[in-house]
Amino acid sequence: MVTAVSANRLELLQVVEALAREKAIEKDIVFEALEEAVQRAGKARYGVENEIRAHIDRNTGEIRLYRVQEVVEEVEEPAIQITLEDAREKKEDAQLGDWVSDELPSLDYGRISAQAAKQVITQKVREAERERQYEEFKDRIGEIITGVIKRVEYGHVIVDLGRAEAVIRRDQTIPREHFRQNDRVRAYILDVRRENRGPQIFLSRTAPEFMAKLFAQEVPEIYDGIIEIKSVARDPGSRAKFAVQTNDGSIDPVGACVGMRGARVQAVVSELQGEKIDIIQWSDDPASFIVNALAPAEVAKVVLDEEEGRIDVVVPDDQLSLAIGRRGQNVRLASQLSGWTIDILTEAEESERRQEEFKARTQMFVDALDVDETLALLLVAEGFTELEEVAYVELNEVAGIEGFDEDLAQELQARAKDALAAQEEKAAAERRELGVSDELATISGLNEQMLLELGRAEIKTLDDLGDLATDELISSEDGILKDFGLSEEEGNAIIMAARAHWFDDEPEAEVAEGEAEEVES
């Protein structure tokens, strides 16, 4: 026999169906929200101390209300507990820990109950809708998406994506870009986050990745992986540099990105509000790549310092302003693109700097070796830059300088060693005045100049040194001994030597294990 569905129940099922379809959520979530609303109304009617359950039949829309009690040995809370004996009067096979139920009369919903039910349903549906939005968009970070502008609030653009809303924050919009309600806009999905007010979808039109994705849409070779985008640097709304590479020798990656008569690059430029784009051939050689990146400026010479991650670029005097660009834009973008710190010099400035360095080294040899300027000039001209080089190179390298002989070379090496010893003695005296422990001086790999630097940094005992991390000691940016060119291996060895006394009282096995853990750390 088929149970007839009343008009009210049919209406309920239709409302659930419509709401689930409109909000793109499961019907069960709407039913659960309705059940919770009915349960709240039931508690208000029969007492909050009772455990009330509601069930809505998914097929007929019939609403049933129950009071449930847990079967226990000894009743402490009569409203929600019942003895086994009483429970078996309602349910013959009841056991301890089971729940038994009594069906309650249907409710006559008043205005207040209906309002409370509406709030519960609205809240539950909103939470389900937010969860659906988060699950839908969390895996789409890094995509380009198109939406319709709903409104602009304090420079932040609210975008309707159809099944969700997103925001382009003011700092993620291109300068001097104007937005109007109902305009269509393309943007890059930068982030999707859960927040108290619901999932927030953050879009960007200034991210370098946005431009890379636009090129992938316009250039089939990039989409197919034939051309690879190596790096992108942008000054949004003004200028950008874009480095590409291909392993297919038959394809010109720059020409492919420009397109016939510039059609491909122009499509991206139009989307980015006229942003000028320099497309550059990538090179594994940093010097060649930076020369390309500084285009259209011509470069005369580059000098790399790999340890510092810096590169000096020498340009003709008439190319200086072009290489730097307006407000430093060209060199800044080239630096971002390559990852190197770039210093731009004219040929005259570079020549002047080399002369100053030449004079400084010459004077250092004059003072330290007690020789005349001519002899010091010859040493510098042969590439000697420090006393250690003169003191400890092979004798024939010094004797082989034009105008030098073996006796002179021996004398110079002896003077260089004496000068170094005097420097060490002076540094040792200053180090002791700073209170640096003599125990530190016994560590292999540390000289007096290094100990002096440690003392100036308030590292005065073995424990002080042992507490340091390797980066704190040797980092090229802010390491205490950054000027001494220590490798990571040498830094680790120095710190482990300082920590050795920590393990003096431990069994040998524990010492070995502890040292292994420290080195791994």
The string of DSSP codes covering 106-166 is: PP---HHHHHHHHHHHHHHHHHHHHHHHHHHHGGGTT-EEEEEEEEEETTEEEEE-SSSEE
> What pTM did the predictor assign?
0.58
The backbone torsions φ and ψ at residue 127, rounded to the nearest 5 degrees and listed phi first, read -60, -45
pLDDT, mean over the chain: 80
How large is the average pLDDT for residues 314-324? 84
- Report pLDDT for 111: 46
- Report pLDDT for 148: 92
Higher per-residue confidence, 255 vs 124: 255
pLDDT per residue as tens digits for the range 254-291 = 888 988 888 889 988 988 888 898 888 998 888 888 88
- Report pLDDT for 482: 80
Name the residue ranges covered by the structural domains of the chain.
Answer: 7-132, 141-204, 445-520
**How would you class 187 by CB atoms within 10 Å of its CB: exposed for 0-12, middle for 13-18, buried for 19 or more?**
buried
Does the structure show a pLDDT above 60 at 109? no
CB 445 within 8 A of CB 490: yes
Please give the Cα distance from 442 to 70 (Å, whole number): 76
- Report pLDDT for 7: 52
To the question of domain 445-520 being in CATH 3.40.91, the answer is no
Helix, strand, coil percentages (3-state) for the chain, rounded to 5, are: 50, 20, 30
3-class secondary structure for 479-508? Answer: CCCHHHCCCHHHHHHHHHHHHHHHHCCCCH
CB 420 within 8 A of CB 388: yes
Higher per-residue confidence, 186 vs 445: 186
Does the structure show a pLDDT above 50 at 3? no
Fold equal for 141-204 and 445-520: no
To the question of domain 141-204 being in CATH 2.40.50.140, the answer is yes
- Report pLDDT for 115: 59
Res. 180 pLDDT band, cuts 50 70 90: confident
CB 268 within 8 A of CB 276: no
Does the structure show a pLDDT above 50 at 1? no
Residue 477 pairs in a beta bridge with: none
Q: For a pLDDT cut of 70, what percent of the chain falls above it?
A: 88
State the fold for domain 7-132: N Utilization Substance Protein A; Chain:P; domain 4 (3.30.1480)
Higher per-residue confidence, 44 vs 377: 377
Q: Are strands 301-305 and 341-346 parallel, antiparallel or unpaired?
A: unpaired
**Type of residue at 458:** E
CB 159 within 8 A of CB 150: yes
Residue 346 pairs in a beta bridge with: 315
Please give the Cα distance from 487 to 484 (Å, whole number): 9
- Report pLDDT for 513: 52
